[in-house]
Structure 1
Amino acid sequence: MSIDRRKFLRSAMLLPAIPAAGSSIFDLLENCVEKIESFKRVRPHDPLWPSLKSWQQLKTAVNGNLVKIESPFVSCATAKDKTACDEVFKSLKNPYYIGDNPALTQTSGWLDAWQSEPSVYAVAAKSTSDVVAAVNFARTHNLRLVVKGGGHSYQGTSNSADSLLIWTRGMNKIELHDSFVADGCAAAQTPKPAVTIESGALWLQAYTEVTTKGGRFVQGGGCTTVGVAGLIQGGGFGSFSKYYGMAAAALLQAEIVTADGSVKIANACTNADLFWALKGGGGGSFGVVTKLTLRTRELPANFGAVFGKIKANSDESYKALLGKVVELYHDKLFNPHWGEQVTFNGNNTVAFSLVSHGLTKEEMTESWQQFEAWVKSKKEYTFEAPLTIIALPAQRMWDVAFLKQYAPNLIETDERADAPVSNIYWGSNKGEAGQFIHAYRSAWLPASLLEEGNRLKLVDALFAASRHWAFALHFNKGLAGAPQEEIAAAKETATNPEVLTAFALAIVAGEGEPAFKNIAGHEPDLKNAHRAAEQINKSSDELLKVAPNAGSYLSESNYFEPNWQKSFWGSNYDKLAAVKKKYDPEGLFFVHHGVGSEGWSDDGFTRL
């Protein structure tokens, strides 16, 4: 057994005074070694790894819901199974296939950062009591613990080799409330329409119950296969956040299993500090959320969408086009009715993929009329894709049957033979399924950049950034221009306060097909990936010239963010750290760049 000298000395200093008699130096050394070893979590090859009998006891405690995880890539180990291996990789482009396998995550890895690796065992939780048993087992046996619902973490926080996984996908019940009051808040709150959602549910399931069937709205994610609990804890933005505000701000109550194995209710009146931390403080850091109750809202008559792509015939005309796009946004779209994104490409094209809230097709058309006329009047521009404006009844936005009939080109379907017919997802999200990330950067862009005196600087930055890599401005992921009451509600979350004054989140990112090291024929193209990462970073750096020290969105950010505490949470970090210390003093819950993670090694196995 090797002992790090500095750790040995540090631990030795913690020992009580040497007794006068009855102890030898060997006793003291053994005691010291035990203290040193306690700084490490246990791995399968360690003597203290739980015995098969212990695992069987856990299986009994969770009503049989313990899974010994097997990698789906076993078929890739032999040459004769190449066809089977290729089929697995083809399936990785189906987010439902990934989500239904405890060994997989929606992102396969990140260049020079992490690779998706399965846990040893998973508790396929069906109830809160299953979660309690798993938490107690991990704490008692000093195991690395991972929590996964939707499994969409770009940071790799929903996977770790040599760990025990709490897999909540089977916890997906949804209950609507006409009038909900949080526990213990009867004297302080008026009843609100709400929905209680178990933590393993996906957003499409939530929208189906709340909107398609219930005729109301709940603020959630744009990607339909994202997990409900992870999005809320990460802050949460969806297509209509400019109108309804942040998803985390809609949280009324949560049920959570904390590190001591107790089940706590967190709301504005009970465990209020923990409640605040769950609203944007990051998933997997404070405990295992098992249920969330979210405020629901009225639906408008219509949702809408605008698509189109314009190409400029020179760099000079492209810059002029960028100026017009910024002017269009400021004058017509910088309000609660509009969301989603505009993409700026290095081939001098601009692509629109926007949504609207509560507008008729005629009102949408009016907003774009002047801009479209300007483009068509200039010979320097051509529409590579025509400006297409559509409106649909808001209640049909996530109606599976409606979308299959009237918008089949916008959706993809889970093609497995035994898949439920309800398993659909937006076609625009297909590229994310199984992706191997080359680099990912995001930045909150302040609304001051839209002011007339600053627009030229913004346009110059957009142009310069596009010379290196394509990027998008996500207008729904910034609350400047939202209703004041939604900005005020977001202020009561743990998210970086920069979001309150940002008009958009700029995202510069690149990815490749699903890839894993040491699987022949499916390894990442490292040369191409490094080249892409270099250009992505250069593009992002150009944008940061007009938004120096800008923070970023926790769920869509740089794995290598050097000042992540400030970037993700700004002035809220110290308060979050205090909540973490109160509810998880020993650091049972660890995620990369999560609150309190600076006290652990990068893999979460060794306390620093």
Structure 2
Amino acid sequence: MNRRRLLHTAAAIPFLRPWMLVPAQAAPRPTSRIRPSDPEWPAEGSWDRLGRQVEGRLVKVQPPLAACIKAPSGPRCTDVFKELKNPYYLGDEVGLTQTLGWVDGWTSQPSKYAVVARMNDDVVAAVNFARDNNLRLVVKGGGHSYQGTSNAADSLLIWTRKMNAVTVHDAFVGVGCAGREPPQPAVTIEAGAIWGQAYDAVTTKAGRYVQGGGCLTVGVAGLIQSGGFGSFSKAYGMAAASLLEAEIVTADGAVAIANACTNQDLFWGIKGGGGGNLGVVTRLTLRTHELPEFFGAVFATIDGTSDAAFHRLIVKIVEFYSKALFNPHWGEQIAFRPGNVLAISMVFQGLDQQQAETIWRPFFDWVAGSPQDFSLEAEPVIIAVPARNLWDPEFLKKIPGLVLADNRPDAGKANVFWASNLEETGQVLHGYQSAWIPSSLLQADRQQNLADALFAATRHWTVSLHVNKGLAGAPAEVIDAARQTATNPVVLDAFALAISGAEGPPAYPGIAGREPDRAAARRHASAIDKAMNEVRKLIPAVGSYVAESDFFDERWRDAFWGSNYIKLLAVKDRYDPDGLFFVHHGVGSERWSDDGFTRLI
């Protein structure tokens, strides 16, 4: 534990909740997991037996950046750093993660060994081996964790990337649910699939919609276990709330089915309890929905010519959102930037282009009416496309600047990603914080307070309102379904998730000329903290989205899960009593050292 964390922890002691002070019942004595330098580390013969058990799918991981450490200016290192901007390369490399680290927090580290799982038996063998040999175990699918939960040095990795089948159902009924649950359209997705694959199968090919993530290369399993928000969550709800059934390998090596009729507590915990906390999810079945006729988007960037003008612009967009956009049709982001810049990047469903233009006309007319105060960097873009085309790789490639393609010679034709996600690829995070914004701040007598806070935040850093990541304004059935997940209940009355973050390009400690800029990162982290503090002043109970949150947040239990944490800890203790599954700021992780190797008293 570093000094910063120790001081935070000490300061928090007077405010600890009762459940923080009570040790888990029948917890084993403090112990340490085994490292390669320990005499108890499994002998080569043991690893060979595991390799045979998984039919040769055990690999000894080679550090992908080793060539850079030896020759940072060499051609091999140059080639690797070019590839670090390709999310498909990162996803296909066993020793890398989509984010390379967080300055002062964590650095992507390859495991010693990895089981390249293709079936449940592979996962079971790896779980049993890690448990029986007291090893640090890691699970990686898409590898998109900002918290660094899909990597750990000196560990055994279960890599589910090759388990990526997608099967569409016309009438699915869960195991044990015949006669209790009606058949319904659904899709079964294996744990290693990414959302681009899922959308292509469900929407492009089958003409249905499944609620998932916005980024095409995010792993399906990790997003569901984190709760899961996508561009259209205000209409279709959290991704976790669409879960009908999961298959999961638990710490005892058993393959369990979890749904509304079987292992209900485990089913609830998987729905938002955090990836890698309760076991290794190998398969998920999600309900699908009818497609609207169109999906669409609105893009505009507006500059305020003075502080006073920008403040007035913020007041107007808050009012306009409350009156015209606070409903299931709209999602994505409104960003408030230093330099008096408002950036609109929103999406819609269930409207055609003319309807969307009509909705936005009063706002853009208002902006145009004050040319001395506001200027548009370009004409606003409002576009609608047939819903079935939104994730069709061939259709997307025809729209200039919208997507980028995997440029490797053997890449699949469907390997595309949003151009707007390029900066995130191979990033090193400098800071990242989130907070759910209650819908009460949209009331007429509170809008000024919200506008004031957003303006004050931009004196420090950018803050974006992700309106699809709050469920206020969604249909009642969407909110009711979210209530049955483990996510912090404050999301039910939040109209948006405020996010402030900063990142640097691909970098790695120990590689000369390519190390993270720590001084800049610390300046950015401080600015983010100041910006978010302006927003948090308005929020009585601050909640954060587990997948997009502050690595250093000492309040993570309350922030991620609120009143649900006690129940989640009980589920953890039932299915993983010895803490085989550890992730940073995961359920029960307070019982372990920061690296997950040493059990704390």
TM-score bucket (shorter structure): over 0.9
Give how far 1:77 is off: 2.9
- Which residue of 91, 96, 104 corresponds with 1:99? 91
Once residues 215 and 351 of structure 1 are traced to their aligned partners in structure 2, the CA distance between those partners, rounded to angstroms, is 32
Partner of 2:383: 390
Partner of 2:4: none
Partner of 2:166: 174
Once residues 78 and 532 of structure 1 are traced to their aligned partners in structure 2, the CA distance between those partners, rounded to angstroms, is 31
Alignment of 1:153-232 (within 5 A): 153-232=145-224
Give how far 1:79 is off: 3.5
Give how far 1:550 is off: 1.1
Partner of 2:487: 495
- Deviations along 1:520-572, one digit per CA (max 9) or x if unpaired, are 11101111111111101100111111114310000000001111111000100
**8 Å Cα contact 2:69-2:510 kept in structure 1:** no
Once residues 297 and 67 of structure 1 are traced to their aligned partners in structure 2, the CA distance between those partners, rounded to angstroms, is 40
Alignment of 1:105-120 (within 5 A): 105-120=97-112
Q: TM-score, normalised by structure 2?
A: 0.94
- Which residue of 278, 301, 312 corresponds with 1:286? 278
Partner of 1:61: 53
**8 Å Cα contact 2:212-2:230 kept in structure 1:** yes
Alignment of 1:356-375 (within 5 A): 356-375=348-367
The higher radius of gyration belongs to 1
Letter of the aligned partner of 2:90 in structure 1? I
Give how far 1:36 is off: 10
How many residues are paired up? 573
Q: For structure 2, which runs of at least 5 residues remain unmatched after alignment?
A: 1-26
Q: TM-score, normalised by structure 1?
A: 0.93
- Which residue of 266, 286, 291 corresponds with 2:258? 266
Alignment of 1:552-567 (within 5 A): 552-567=544-559
Partner of 1:598: 590
- Which residue of 419, 429, 442 corresponds with 2:434? 442
Once residues 41 and 30 of structure 2 are traced to their aligned partners in structure 1, the CA distance between those partners, rounded to angstroms, is 13
Partner of 2:302: 310
Once residues 149 and 545 of structure 1 are traced to their aligned partners in structure 2, the CA distance between those partners, rounded to angstroms, is 37
Displaced runs of 4 or more, over 6 A: 35-38
Secondary structure of 1:72 counterpart: coil
- Deviations along 1:202-241, one digit per CA (max 9) or x if unpaired, are 0000001000000000000000000000000000000000
Once residues 147 and 78 of structure 1 are traced to their aligned partners in structure 2, the CA distance between those partners, rounded to angstroms, is 29
Letter of the aligned partner of 1:39 in structure 2? T
Secondary structure of 2:332 counterpart: strand
Give how far 1:186 is off: 1.2
Letter of the aligned partner of 2:552 in structure 1? F
Give how far 1:242 is off: 0.4
Give how far 1:81 is off: 5.7
Give how far 1:37 is off: 9.4
Once residues 181 and 494 of structure 2 are traced to their aligned partners in structure 1, the CA distance between those partners, rounded to angstroms, is 30
Once residues 523 and 553 of structure 1 are traced to their aligned partners in structure 2, the CA distance between those partners, rounded to angstroms, is 29
Secondary structure of 1:408 counterpart: coil
Once residues 584 and 378 of structure 2 are traced to their aligned partners in structure 1, the CA distance between those partners, rounded to angstroms, is 41
Secondary structure of 1:195 counterpart: strand
- Which residue of 503, 519, 541 corresponds with 1:511? 503
Letter of the aligned partner of 2:282 in structure 1? T
Asked if 1:123 corresponds to 2:115, the answer is yes
Partner of 1:346: 338
- Which residue of 400, 413, 420 corresponds with 2:393? 400
Give how far 1:80 is off: 7.8
Give how far 1:75 is off: 1.3
**8 Å Cα contact 2:72-2:513 kept in structure 1:** no
- Deviations along 1:162-182, one digit per CA (max 9) or x if unpaired, are 000000000001111100111
- Deviations along 1:15-69, one digit per CA (max 9) or x if unpaired, are xxxxxxxxxxxxxxxxxxxx99970000001001011100000000111101110
Secondary structure of 1:409 counterpart: coil
- Which residue of 249, 252, 265 corresponds with 2:244? 252
**8 Å Cα contact 1:414-1:423 kept in structure 2:** yes
- Which residue of 344, 360, 374 corresponds with 1:381? 374
**8 Å Cα contact 2:202-2:208 kept in structure 1:** yes
Once residues 270 and 150 of structure 2 are traced to their aligned partners in structure 1, the CA distance between those partners, rounded to angstroms, is 17
Once residues 104 and 413 of structure 2 are traced to their aligned partners in structure 1, the CA distance between those partners, rounded to angstroms, is 38
Secondary structure of 2:561 counterpart: helix
Once residues 217 and 253 of structure 1 are traced to their aligned partners in structure 2, the CA distance between those partners, rounded to angstroms, is 17
State the identity as a percent.
Answer: 60
- Deviations along 1:368-399, one digit per CA (max 9) or x if unpaired, are 01011000010211101221100000000000
Give how far 1:78 is off: 2.9
Partner of 1:17: none
Once residues 81 and 363 of structure 1 are traced to their aligned partners in structure 2, the CA distance between those partners, rounded to angstroms, is 55
- Deviations along 1:387-431, one digit per CA (max 9) or x if unpaired, are 1100000000000111112x1311011111111111000011111
Secondary structure of 2:401 counterpart: helix
**8 Å Cα contact 2:250-2:278 kept in structure 1:** yes
Secondary structure of 1:434 counterpart: coil
Letter of the aligned partner of 1:284 in structure 2? G
**8 Å Cα contact 2:258-2:266 kept in structure 1:** yes
Once residues 477 and 171 of structure 2 are traced to their aligned partners in structure 1, the CA distance between those partners, rounded to angstroms, is 21
Give how far 1:89 is off: 1.2
Once residues 38 and 456 of structure 1 are traced to their aligned partners in structure 2, the CA distance between those partners, rounded to angstroms, is 53
Give how far 1:301 is off: 0.5
Summarize the Cα distance change of 1:136–1:242 in structure 2 as closer, same or farther, 3 Å threshold. Answer: same
Letter of the aligned partner of 1:572 in structure 2? N
Secondary structure of 1:219 counterpart: coil
Q: Which stretch shifts more, 548-557 or 386-395? A: 548-557
**8 Å Cα contact 1:75-1:81 kept in structure 2:** no
- Which residue of 530, 536, 539 corresponds with 1:547? 539
Once residues 307 and 72 of structure 2 are traced to their aligned partners in structure 1, the CA distance between those partners, rounded to angstroms, is 52
Asked if 1:234 corresponds to 2:226, the answer is yes
Give how far 1:256 is off: 0.3
Give how far 1:483 is off: 0.5
Once residues 510 and 242 of structure 2 are traced to their aligned partners in structure 1, the CA distance between those partners, rounded to angstroms, is 44
Letter of the aligned partner of 2:378 in structure 1? A
Once residues 136 and 293 of structure 2 are traced to their aligned partners in structure 1, the CA distance between those partners, rounded to angstroms, is 48
